[in-house]
Amino acid sequence: MAEIQVVAFMVGNEEFCLDISKVREIKEMMPITRVPNSPDFVEGVINLRGQITTVVNLKKLLGYYDMDEDLSTKKIIIAEVKDEVIGIIVDSVSDVITLTDDQIDQPPKTLTSRVDIRYIKGIAKINDGERLLIMVDLDKLLGEEF
């Protein structure tokens, strides 16, 4: 049975995960330089060891808006998207989880007709389904934006 390791994180009240092979590191919030006329979900750029890196707010990209959001307590997941390094702001990072194929389901068909789920790889069930993680495909989520 194939296994996959994922990094679990929170955005709003929902728990998501990314394939660990896409994740380079997890950083504390750092100063972000805003870029004029950039899309709403792009917070700006950071200097990551000499490399200028775009930082996106996953909460805004997914449509969860919080106008009074304090970014100082957030985390930045440094990940690879289509051969580019990008920073992704999330509320918190919880753990690394090993999943097996039988723990991953496809999104329900009732969602597929009403919701844009192209970026959802699947939904992982942890602890007999007590904990659900939405598996994000960063290439599809950010591929059209960049």
Q: What is the pTM of this model?
A: 0.90
pLDDT above 70 (res 126) = yes
Query: Quick check: 71 and 43 in contact, CB under 8 A?
Result: yes
> What total number of domains does the chain contain?
1
| CB of 20 closer than 8 Å to CB of 140 | no
Which CATH number covers residue 51?
A: 2.40.50.180
Contact 35, 42 (CB under 8 A): yes
Domain span including residue 87? 3-144
- With CA atoms as reference, report the closest residue to 92 among 17, 6, 23: 17
92-115: pLDDT as tens digits: 999 999 999 999 998 877 765 556
pLDDT, tens only, 69-88 = 788 899 999 999 888 999 99
Q: Which residue has the higher pLDDT, 136 or 118?
A: 136
CA distance 118 to 91: 22
- What phi, psi does 103 have (nearest 5°)? -90, -5
d(CA 17, CA 91): 13
In the structure, what pLDDT confidence band is assigned to residue 67 with cuts at 50, 70 and 90?
low
Instruction: With beta carbons less than 8 A apart as the criterion, state whether 9 and 91 touch.
Output: yes
Asked whether residue 143 carries a pLDDT value surpassing 90, the answer given is no
Over residues 38-53, the mean pLDDT reads 94
**Which residues make beta-bridge pairs with 89?**
57, 76
Cβ-Cβ contacts under 8 Å for 94 (sequence gap 6 or more): 8, 9, 10, 15
Report the amino acid identity of residue 93.
V
